Amino acid sequence: MFSKILIANRGEIACRVIRTARKMGVHTVAVYSDADAKSLHVEMADEAVHIGPSPVGESYLRGDRIVAAALSTGTQAIHPGYGFLSENPDFVDQVVAAGLTFIGPSSASIRAMGLKDAAKRLMEKAGVPVVPGYHGEAQEIVLLASKAREIGYPVLIKARAGGGGKGMRRVEHPDDFSEALSSARREAKAAFGDDRVLVEKYVDKPRHIEVQVFGDNFGNAVHLYERDCSAQRRHQKVIEEAPAPGMTPALRKAMTEAAVKAAKAIGYSGAGTIEFIVDASQGLKPDRFWFMEMNTRLQVEHPVTEMVTGTDLVEWQLRVASGEKLPKTQSEIALTGHALEARIYAEDAAKGFLPATGTLHHLKFPEAACEGATMRVETGVRAGDAISPYYDPMIAKLVVHAKDRQAALEALGAALSRTEIAGSTVNTGFLAALAADPDFCAGDVDTGLIGRHQAALTGVAPPTGEIVSAAALAASGAAALPPSNDPWSSLSGYAHFHGVARRTRLKFGEADILAKVSVRPDGRFQVALDAPYDSTNSHDFRAAPRLARWPGHITVFEGAVGYTFAVTDPLARSDDAAAASGSLRAPMPGLVKLVRVAKGDAVIKGQPLLILEAMKMEHTIAAPHDAVVAEIAAEGAQVTDGTVLVRFVEEQSAQTAAAGR
């Protein structure tokens, strides 16, 4: 076994690898960029080496610096985690050439499965069913459009490199093919450095079911059953589970056999995942699944497999890479219970899952799941850490395991309802709504479920009077928040408020709220609210609400939803410029990838104005109303959160300009 390894990654997965290495007595070396100098994975590792500036291209994608860090610290092996260089065969060659061990498959295996088109041709030869489509080398738009017509719409354009839903577009009609292809290529080029694509038939009711495989260097390969990852938004997984709901013995046998056959076809060693698309329109049948791709690394969702099989896949990785045989044979791997994983992201689900940034001023996870269930939280952040625009905005993975799917769903809902995050917009409310969705609970899930139910899943009820009152009381200064977050436990004796109502102003979204806080004769606080909450109604708190105070804000937690109120400073001057409707500002830091209009152009409501690339995804900035463009950001410009991207001509001037046309 290795005595010291370097982890060529950051965040949650780096922390995950460190925990297992520590359990095995293996020392760890972390690498970090400028943005991660004080991160959790750096704190947890035995040693840490700085490898460059914050952008990934200058740090975590610099294989030469990572190998140099490994050599300088005397490490024997490099664990790549997932993402970044984990599926880069050239990096594997660099590692091996330096006399180090790569904790993962060989570069030959990665090359064989790294490009989706080549991998599918290889799987066809190995007898693994492959989804119908065009997987050839030619990339001319005329040819690709022709192949799309042959396949039949709807079709799916997919980047042949990488994954994570990037460079992927569903196309319903031939007229939309050209624009979708251009967008997919741009995104693929930015994410993977390769803009080549393949075109496949879009399955009507697709289930995304994948099989965890594991091989060693002695020719052995096993499967650890399947995971269902059909709950997706923007082609990215949201809630994963094992086993797949509704899985039949016949389909499981066919899929796992095909997965092991695929692994053996390339002499695979280490952890890998064979991803299949399953047509669920007529139920789960053994002749209705097709190979999509192989991920030659540990998956983000590997904890659900660990929970239902009682294994530590990172430990298996270290043992196999150090020259040991697989820890278990196929007959020794049993499937027990049901596990679910929910990915908690800094994102605004109500705004199309727009990634968010911010400082995690308050971060609290439940200590345990409900009775009869176990829980683990996989995270790479602590309270006080910032969500950086340079990296994926995932905050944590909440994983639960119970005796069956219904019990696991209840445990997940309970855990999400007790999770508290303040300082950034997060998706916990959306996750809780999805976990309670009737179709999802019934196991009637496919990759289009979230899209069909998006309005219901992402809609958030406005705060009740009780929630607003809790925020007003905390903001009024009537009681300081002790570590217990319980200012209601001993409220008597505050004579400062006797007979006087203190006025507090809050802002929730665009709404200004006036509250009056006073003390009753019994020493308890009451809060009266102006309209629209009913100015005659008072709220008497006998149980402490869950809330967090952070600079200039109060967040009140109701179930899995956090309601954040800005505390209005009565001495602060209003920012008329920011309140004006004559401009559009960047919703997050990013790169102006493409500008579609020019100064002086008349635009209509909803018309795309520019494309902002942020957090490895493209976001279209559209006109909020009919207008004339006065100024627009330059293509290629790097912008920060709140930067003015577009200014419009004042209304009167715009009408004059429009009349002149």
Give the 3-state secondary structure of residue 251. Answer: helix
Token pair 């799309």 is at which residue? Answer: 148
Alpha carbon 306 to chain centroid distance? 20
Q: Give me the DSSP letters along 145-173.
A: HHHHHHH-SSEEEEESS--TTTTEEEE-S
Q: Are 164 and 295 in contact (CB under 8 A)?
A: no
Tokens of 320: 């196999």
Reference 300, options 164, 448, 112, 440; nearest CA is 164
Tokens of 601: 């152009």
| Catalytic residue of the set 169, 297, 405, 418 | 297
Q: Which residues of 258-280 are buried (b: 16+ CB within 10 A; e: fewer)?
A: bbbbbbebbebbbbbbbbbbbbb
Tokens of 172: 């319903």
* 514 membership: H or E segment, kind and range: strand 511-519
Amino acid in position 515 = A
Which residues neighbour 124 within 8 Å (Cβ) at sequence distance 6 or greater? 130
Q: Are 399 and 416 in contact (CB under 8 A)?
A: no
Give the 3-state secondary structure of residue 632. Answer: strand
E strands present in 216-259: 221-233, 236-242
Q: Is 297 annotated as catalytic?
A: yes
Q: Regarding beta strands 101-102 and 77-79, do their DSSP bridges make them parallel or antiparallel, or are they unpaired?
A: parallel
Q: Regarding beta strands 27-33 and 4-7, do their DSSP bridges make them parallel or antiparallel, or are they unpaired?
A: parallel
- Residue 462 carries which DSSP code? P
CA 510, 385, 192, 301 torsion: positive or negative? negative
**Proportion of the chain in helix, strand, coil states, percent, rounded to 5:** 30, 30, 40
Tokens of 261: 């056959």
Q: Are 515 and 506 in contact (CB under 8 A)?
A: yes
Amino acid in position 402 = A
Reference 517, options 506, 191, 508, 507; nearest CA is 506
Tokens of 500: 């006087």
Which residues neighbour 151 within 8 Å (Cβ) at sequence distance 6 or greater? 132, 133, 134, 199, 200, 201
Q: Count the neighbouring beta carbons within 10 Å of the beta carbon of residue 296.
A: 27
d(CA 585, CA 647): 9
Catalytic center residues:
297
